[in-house]
Structure 1
Amino acid sequence: MEPVELRRAVAAGRVTASEMGLRVDEVTVLHNSDRVALRLIPCDALVRVAPLPQLADSEFEVEVARRLVGVDAPVAELDPRVEPRVQVRDGFAISLWTYYEPVGSEVAPADYADAFARQHAALRRIELAAAPHFTDRVAVALREVDDRSRSPELSDADREFLSGTLVELSAAVSDGAAGEQLLHGEPHPGNLLNTRRGPLFVDLGTCCRGPVEFDLAHAPEEVGQHYAGADAGLVHRCRALNWALFSAWRWRGDDQMPDREHWRAAGLERVRTVLDQCGPG
């Protein structure tokens, strides 16, 4: 968020938590992109604040969290001191979560794979009719890439490359998947916290349907080696697809990721590198 919008988001998060009975003397911004994550002190709550157009996404994330906690999934929980729903204030969608103090910096590959196995098992125990298929995400990315008004700074050559890559990899992953289920959707290392309770997944609003390899492709390569039954070739194709999706988001005219210019170039280069590693076909 831009500085003016960020100040409004912080104020909305602070006031909402205070009105729900939580003491807020200090607010720390933990993450700032299209939505923000705030740590409130001394109540030690985590608040997610998103622009109101993302209200449905925020409500979906809260619903996913509620259901997964009920089946003992390794996920971050909503704050038990307040009503488990999204609040609306000053043009923002606001949800309150438990804050977990990080322990160490990285989750070991074997522990990462174990968290995946437990998360996927829990996801097989719930029903989420609203969860999209991973190909729906690809379709949204294609609209951004193919529409010059949405991605005006993307060159014609890169537009053609990125569009073709998204189409071909989406088809290749769909054809190669032996089975599909509910997934986290974006379980990269930034979305797996190392806590005293063990590894916990966050940012649950990306939940979608697809092969487990789509999730594994977001993690370091060593993780897949510890996940029983994973198709290494499919993981690699999914990794290339994930980088193509990442690149598509960076070229949106309204993308707000920090250091966007760097990631625009780096993302495209990473797509090409991973595709080369996939080999012919």
Structure 2
Amino acid sequence: MEPWELRRAVEAGRATASELGLQVDDVVVINNSDRVVLRLLPCDALARVAPSGHLVDSEFEVEVARRLADVDAPVAELDPRVGPRVYLRDAFAISLWTYYEPVGSEIAPADYADALMRHHAALRQIDLDAPHFTDRVAEALREVNDREQSPELSDSDRELLSDTLSGPSAAIGLEKAGDQLLHGEPHPGNLLRTRRGPLFVDLATCCRGPIEFDLAHAPEEVGKHYAGADHGLIHRCRALGWAMFSAWRWRRDDQLPDRDHWRAEGLNQVRAALDRCGRG
């Protein structure tokens, strides 16, 4: 968010928590992108604040978290001191979560795989109306093919992303026998190191698809510890995932920090992933 919008988002998060009876004397910005993540002190709550245009996504995320809490999934929980809902204030959608103090070092691949297997097992226990991953791919493809939405994307890179999003997606989408609910983006930035063990966050990306689509977002070594995973399919999904990531980065209104770096890195990763598939 731009500085002026960030100030409003911080105030909306602070005021909402205060009105709900939580003591907020200080606010620490943990992440600032298209939505912001705030640590509220001394109540030690975590506020996720998004423009109200993301209300549907925020409500979906809260519903996913609420249902997964009932089946003991390894996910971050909503703050139990307030209602499990999304609050609207000053054109922002605000949800309040438990804050977890980071502990330990980097999560080992075997532990990462174990957390993801337990998460997948929990997801199989809930009934939720979630989009198929191919719906998200189709959305990314529309962004790439719309020159007004991605005016700075070169013709050659546009062709690369378009071909990658339409080719592997169509092939993977036909193999639906093993589809289930997924996290959607369980990359290392969405896995916390806590005293309870690894916990997944950012649940709004929940979708349906093969477990390999999730594994493609994790470090490569993780897949080797996940029993029954199709490693060829992981490589195909990884190319697709990086193409989707790149599509979002080339949007005219994308606000990811250090966007220019990630634009270049995303395209490089697409090419590398296609090489691994024998398509480069």
Sort the TM-score into its range (normalised by shorter chain). over 0.9
Task: Name the structure 2 match of 1:217.
Answer: 216
Question: Take 1:185 and 1:268, find their aligned partners in 2: how far apart are those partners?
Answer: 20
**CA deviation after TM superposition for structure 1 residue 176, in Å:** 4.9
Question: Take 1:188 and 1:178, find their aligned partners in 2: how far apart are those partners?
Answer: 24
Alignment of 1:171-190 (within 5 A): 171-176=170-175, 178-190=177-189
Question: Take 1:236 and 1:101, find their aligned partners in 2: how far apart are those partners?
Answer: 33
Deviations 1:134-179 (A, max 9, x none): 0000011011100011001111111111111100010232245651
For 2:77, give the aligned amino acid.
E
Contact 1:176 1:234 in 2 (8 A): no
Change (3 A) 1:219 1:108: same
Task: Name the structure 2 match of 1:120.
Answer: 120
**CA deviation after TM superposition for structure 1 residue 2, in Å:** 0.4
Give the secondary-structure state (helix, strand or coil) at the position aligned to 1:209.
strand
Question: Take 2:128 and 2:177, find their aligned partners in 1: how far apart are those partners?
Answer: 21
For 2:145, give the aligned amino acid.
D
Task: Name the structure 1 match of 2:48.
Answer: 48
Give the secondary-structure state (helix, strand or coil) at the position aligned to 1:194.
strand
Task: Name the structure 2 match of 1:16.
Answer: 16
Asked if residue 247 in structure 1 is aligned to residue 246 in structure 2, the reply is yes
Contact 1:37 1:48 in 2 (8 A): yes
For 1:106, give the aligned amino acid.
E
**CA deviation after TM superposition for structure 1 residue 266, in Å:** 1.4
Q: How many residues align?
A: 280
Question: Take 1:111 and 1:185, find their aligned partners in 2: how far apart are those partners?
Answer: 19
Question: Take 1:61 and 1:106, find their aligned partners in 2: how far apart are those partners?
Answer: 26
Asked if residue 31 in structure 1 is aligned to residue 31 in structure 2, the reply is yes
Deviations 1:54-104 (A, max 9, x none): 000000000000000000100000000001100000000000000000112
Question: Take 1:177 and 1:240, find their aligned partners in 2: how far apart are those partners?
Answer: 19
Task: Name the structure 2 match of 1:110.
Answer: 110
Unaligned runs of 5+ in 1: none
Give the secondary-structure state (helix, strand or coil) at the position aligned to 1:56.
helix
Task: Name the structure 1 match of 2:192.
Answer: 193
Which TM-score applies when normalising by structure 1?
0.98
**CA deviation after TM superposition for structure 1 residue 274, in Å:** 1.2
Greater shift after overlay, 165-174 or 242-251? 165-174
For 2:207, give the aligned amino acid.
C
Question: Take 1:247 and 1:198, find their aligned partners in 2: how far apart are those partners?
Answer: 31
Unaligned runs of 5+ in 2: none
Question: Take 1:189 and 1:205, find their aligned partners in 2: how far apart are those partners?
Answer: 16
**CA deviation after TM superposition for structure 1 residue 36, in Å:** 0.3
Task: Name the structure 2 match of 1:161.
Answer: 160
Contact 1:177 1:234 in 2 (8 A): no
Residue identity (%)? 77
Give the secondary-structure state (helix, strand or coil) at the position aligned to 2:150.
coil
Greater shift after overlay, 46-55 or 266-275? 266-275
Task: Name the structure 2 match of 1:66.
Answer: 66
Give the secondary-structure state (helix, strand or coil) at the position aligned to 1:257.
coil
Question: Take 1:138 and 1:94, find their aligned partners in 2: how far apart are those partners?
Answer: 27
Task: Name the structure 2 match of 1:79.
Answer: 79
Change (3 A) 1:229 1:214: same
Give the secondary-structure state (helix, strand or coil) at the position aligned to 2:273.
helix
Which TM-score applies when normalising by structure 2?
0.98
